[in-house]
Amino acid sequence: MWLIEPYTLQIAQFPRRTIIQAIEAEAEQLLLQRGGKVERCREGYLYEDYLDVGFPTLIILWPVQTRFVYVAARGQEDSDVIFMAALLPESQTELHLTYDYRPWNPLYGPFEEFFTLRVAREHLFA
């Protein structure tokens, strides 16, 4: 059971930027078709921390009028935790930003946060 936090509903009034670590091909294609962008170049980052990490990072730009809602983690323990659901303008297909941990160093740990943008398997927007 998904617990949507309705008070977090936001509608982008201008292109909105999100930094993630991975994007599935289908999600990227949909984002680009609806006016979003995916930047893979490390130049122009606002924070130097993103230049020092050992994993790739991506900047995605959500188009204007994208709707966002945050999802509570309760009840998601057996699958990828959905952090945020997004509904692109003029689209019925949701994108989910999933949140997980992966080892920073496979031998010694610790874990790092890892965000992946993917096409939703289940719809959360009513």
Kindly list the domain boundaries of the chain, sorted by start residue: 18-119
pTM of the model: 0.77
Q: What is the pLDDT of residues 6-35, one digit of tens each?
A: 678 899 999 999 988 889 999 999 999 999
The per-residue b/e assignment along 5-16, b for 16 or more CB within 10 angstroms, e otherwise, is eeeeeeebeeeb
Residue 43, pLDDT score: 55
The per-residue b/e assignment along 49-81, b for 16 or more CB within 10 angstroms, e otherwise, is eeeeeeeebbbbbbbeebbbbbbeeeebeeeeb
Q: What is the pLDDT of residues 57-70, one digit of tens each?
A: 788 999 999 999 88
Residue 55, pLDDT score: 58
